[in-house]
Chains A and B, each alone.
Chain A
Amino acid sequence: MGVQATYLGMPLAIDDLDVENLAYFKHCAAHNFHLQRCTKCNLLRYPPTTACPWCMNPKSDWVPVEAKGAVHSYTEVHHAIQPAFKAATPYLVLLVDLDAQKGKPSQQEALRVMGNLTTPDGKLAPPDMVKKVGIGTRVRMVFADAGPGLAIPHWTIDEGAQQPAKPWRYAQE
């Protein structure tokens, strides 16, 4: 069975044929972060795919992954395109390097997972929080419930982590 939900006024859907995304978001719905691990080369991968991008093996296991990392890059959106986001500007879209598997299988690779900067309860971050975050900020994953069988993973500032003295932010505030 596919999944349908409404999130921030946006209709979301996963087709019943899309088994990889159904599995990924089923774990998200339980507020767990799982990724596929290849049964042959043992590498984790993101986003969900049918085969392993490093060894073509189609078999994988869903395994729990610690969802912590550091901001690799970002954009701060001031002019929203989608109606759902117009009331939430400026909002941050973060590209986060997971600690898990960073630098593997080659030095330039990492599991880079998208998400918005949110409060710990998964709401889009207010402007004063947006201004604190840049490249290097340590973040942890939180989930925003969208409906039965679907929650959207996001990032919030990791209060327990040692933060860089000054994360790198775009020159113009």
Chain B
Amino acid sequence: MPMPDTDTSSPKHLRDKYAIVGVGETTYTRGSGVTTRALGTWAVRNAIEDAGLKASDVDGMLSYQSGDSTFSTFIAGDLGLRLNFYMDVFGGGSSTEALVGMAIGLIEAGMCKTVAVFRAMNGFSQVRIGGTGARAAAPVMGDALHGRAYGWQSAGQMFAPTFMRHMYDYGTTPEQVAHVKHFHSCHASNNPKAFYKKRYSVDEVVSSRIICKPLHLLDCCVETDNATSIIVTRAERARDGRHHPVLIRGVVGRCSKPRTDMHYQTGPISTVAGHYAKDILWPNSGVGPEDIDLTGSYDAFTFTTMLQLEDYGFCKKGEGGDYVSNGTIRLGGKRPNNTSGGHLCEGYTHGMNMVIENVRQLRHDADDSCPIGPDGKRQHTHDYREGGCRQVKDAELSANLGWANPGTGSAMVMRRG
């Protein structure tokens, strides 16, 4: 595949110089029965083992959370890592790609050599993102008086004006976006790790109960308990690893719309942060949407997948409804999205599981049910029927599109090394 290298505006000297060399996760459950510290420790350990590294090889750690997790110091302590750098940042869905960019910067600045990034959460059994449980009864203070006092608190409620306005502006239909759940659920049925493996039809999505218009129950992602981790280091170190290297082509982190404090002040409100982020992502990566073989567009809701694919330029603005329903994003289609089943089906770890999936796809090593051959590698059939293969054929380039809210997003292009 040609890698155009013609623009002069971006730090292309870092293209392909860094790699994700290890990925790891825990089981996706509802009721882990253990602390976020235990979950995080397992995920980071699994990622280090996957990379074929020793504890002493990892000297940097980054994590993100929303007051619902364990700090790097405890995970490092449990695993006997001595760190030269660590930081735990506040935030959710736009963090994975942003922290990969930070890890590159840290290593480039000579502050450390290899960074483990993790997210650990009991998102079902302890702190639920939607604000149910103890969070629902918390006092409404200060700025929240302009939102929570109106029963406008959960992610679905807060994003809904964007989704609704997109339907008004462009005629997007509930059935079009319901295809996202349909396709992702088909992908999940070929993912033994997925929390929900059942295939859902478009009819089942649009006839599930309304949560807050325009969202049905099955337009919303699953909440689960789990931890995920990835290991970032220099590309030359990746060549000694256990797996085919997966190189980081370009990153954009927590790019925002104007007035990100209250982004609805600036329209069009049916446009999301990807509209701005695309102008960093594609020049930095030296490729464009047409070059990408598979995407990981964040599916907190069916709508978020569509809005981001549209604003990053995978289709024209306003044509996202057609793009996500015409078969392009299904396994076997031109550009599959969230081949693990994503947040709608596999499990919810604020975007990191979708990066992990694309790393495995680019290794040509998706962990489906295909038989393992004599060389120890899976013999992928590319037969995408239920329970079958989910490896994208000849996957070379992927794009992950992370979402915090309509006003903030992050993204990353990776390629098979």
B143, B149, B213, B264: the one contacting A152 at CB < 8 Å is B149
Q: Which of A18, A73, A172 has the most CB of B within 10 A?
A: A73
The answer to the question of B379 belonging to the interface, with a C-beta cut-off of 8 Å to chain A, is no
Select which of B139, B150, B168, B266 is within 8 A of A93 by beta carbon: B150
Contact of A110 among B140, B209, B265 (CB under 8 A): B265
**In the bound complex, how far is the Cα of B152 from the Cα of A135, in angstroms?**
18
Tell me whether B150 and A109 are in contact (CB under 8 A): no
Interface flags for A72-85 (1: CB within 8 Å of B; 0: not) read: 11111111111111
A83 touching B141 in the complex, CB below 8 Å, given contacts A108-B268, A114-B147, A170-B213: no
**CB-CB contacts below 8 Å: A27-66 with B:** 46-47, 49, 53
Indicate whether A100 reaches chain B with its CB closer than 8 angstroms: no
Q: CA A10 – CA B141 in complex, angstroms?
A: 11
**B146, B149, B259 pick with most chain A CB within 10 angstroms:** B149
Closest to A28 in B: B145
Is B111 at the interface (CB under 8 A from chain A)? Answer: no
Dominant SS at the B interface? mixed
**Given the interface contacts A93-B157, A110-B265, does A115 sit within 8 Å of B212 by beta carbon?**
no
How many residue pairs link A and B with beta carbons under 8 A? The number is 145
User: A10-B149, A82-B148, A172-B206 are contacts. A95–B262 as well, Cβ < 8 Å?
Assistant: no
Q: Give how many A residues have a beta carbon under 8 Å from the other chain's beta carbons.
A: 48
Given the complex of chains A and B, what is the CA–CA distance between A76 and B164 in angstroms? Answer: 10
Please tell me if the beta carbons of B265 and A116 are within 8 angstroms of each other in the complex.
no
Q: Are A82 and B153 in touch, CB under 8 angstroms? A: yes
Q: B144: shortest Cβ distance to chain A, in Å?
A: 9
Q: Within 8 Å CB of B206, what residues of A?
A: 172
Q: Are A85 and B161 in contact (CB under 8 A)?
A: no
Residues of B within 8 A of A143 (CB): none
In the complex, A119 has a CB within 8 A of chain B? no
Among B164, B174, B265, contact of A172 (Cβ-Cβ < 8 Å):
B174
Report the separation of the CA atoms of residues A39 and B139 in the bound assembly, to the nearest whole angstrom. Answer: 34
Q: Are A49 and B261 in contact (CB under 8 A)?
A: yes
Q: Pick the contact of B142 from A14, A74, A80, A171 — CB < 8 Å?
A: A14
Q: Which of B15-23, B129-137, B386-394 contacts A (4 or more CB under 8 A)?
A: B129-137
Q: A91-B151, A110-B265, A110-B267 are in contact. Are A73 and B211 (CB under 8 A)?
A: no
- Which of A81, A88, A168 lies at the interface centre, i.e. has the most chain B CB atoms within 10 A of its CB? A81
Q: Is A13 an interface residue (CB 8 A)?
A: yes
Q: Chain B residues with Cβ under 8 A from A135's Cβ? A: 164-165, 168
Q: Give chain B residues whose Cβ lies under 8 Å from the Cβ of A85.
A: 151
B154 within 8 A of A: yes
Q: Is A12 within 8 A of B137, CB to CB?
A: no
When distances are taken between beta carbons in the complex, the residues of chain B under 8 Å from A78 are 209-213
Tell me whether B145 and A172 are in contact (CB under 8 A).
no
Query: Do B139 and A12 have beta carbons less than 8 Å apart?
Result: yes
- Asked, given contacts A12-B149, A114-B150, whether A73 binds B269 with beta carbons under 8 Å apart, the answer is yes
Contact at A84–B168, with CB atoms within 8 Å?
no
Q: List B residues 206-222 near A (Cβ within 8 Å).
A: 206, 209-214
* Given known A73-B161, A77-B157, A172-B174, contact A111–B265 (CB-CB < 8 A): yes
Of A13, A25, A80, A110, the residue contacting B139 (CB under 8 A) is A13
| B window 1-32: CB within 8 A of A | none
Among residues of B, the one whose C-beta sits closest to the C-beta of A95 is B161
A121 at the interface (CB under 8 A from B): no
CB-nearest residue of chain B relative to A77?
B212
Query: In whole angstroms, what is the CA distance A93 to B163 when docked?
Result: 14
Q: Which 7 A-B pairs have the closest CB atoms?
A: A75-B160, A73-B161, A108-B267, A85-B151, A73-B165, A11-B139, A76-B213
